[in-house]
Amino acid sequence: MIFRSDEMKKLGFRLTGTRVRGFLIFALLACAMLLVSASRAQETVVNLDPAQTKIEFTVDSTLHTVHGTFKLRSGTIRFDPSTGKAGGSIVVDATSGDSDSKGRDKKMHQEILESSKFPDVTFTPNRVQGTVARAGNSNVQVFGVFRLHGQDHDLTLNVSVTPGSGGRMQATTDFGVPFIDWGLKDPSTFILHVNKMVNVHISAIVPQFAATTGH
């Protein structure tokens, strides 16, 4: 078979165009994979150690202010610093509530929290706003859903981060829980009036720079 010069040129152009298009498609796919990998590599994971986390609460009453504690069951926060998108969960052991009074704690667990039925109190983050500085104090906001007594409520945690010793940092947050407005039983009596807001303070020691992960 004999091809004319103009046919050879057309054929050569088609082959060249095909190769160019194939190379461009491959290059675009490679760039896309690199971008996805880079994006995923930016995800930061913060694991909370129950032994290094303190959860304290106070609630005012007619006679005095009640002080108590809860224990962290587990805690992991994942977030992408570039987008703020977050995930994970913080789980508090509701059955661990202790106000240093057996009678008061019995009523709290049986009548208020019903902790045998709802043993976990959880916070599920969905967005983080702000940046943790490599040096100095920082403030970030963590938005998410607080689940108490089987009901979900939107909650924003204002977290203060302070450099600590040994390359670690201390994170603290304070927030209020309007437990009566959220459907829990009012423990007040004719004589004893209990405030409708429980103040919660959480402090935790976390690694200064959490590891980044890829999927």
36 with 103, same domain? no
Q: Which two tokens stand for residue 7?
A: 């046919």
Domain that holds residue 207: 43-213
Which residues have a Cβ under 8 Å from the Cβ of 80 and sit 6 or more positions away? 39, 42, 43, 44, 86
- Measured between its terminal Cα atoms, the distance across the chain in Å is 54
19 with 59, same domain? no
Residue range 110-160, pLDDT digits in tens: 999 999 999 999 999 999 999 887 778 989 999 999 999 999 999 999 999
108 with 206, same domain? yes
Q: How confident is the model at residue 96 (pLDDT cuts 50, 70, 90)?
A: very high
Residue range 8-37, pLDDT digits in tens: 454 444 445 555 455 445 555 555 554 444
Residue range 48-93, pLDDT digits in tens: 999 999 999 999 988 889 999 999 999 999 999 889 999 999 999 9
- The whole-number pLDDT of residue 83 equals 92
34 with 66, same domain? no
Rounded-to-integer distance, Cα 162 and Cα 166, Å: 13
pTM for the model stands at: 0.77
Q: Are 43 and 213 in contact (CB under 8 A)?
A: yes
Burial class of 92 by CB neighbour count within 10 A (0 to 12, 13 to 18, 19+): buried
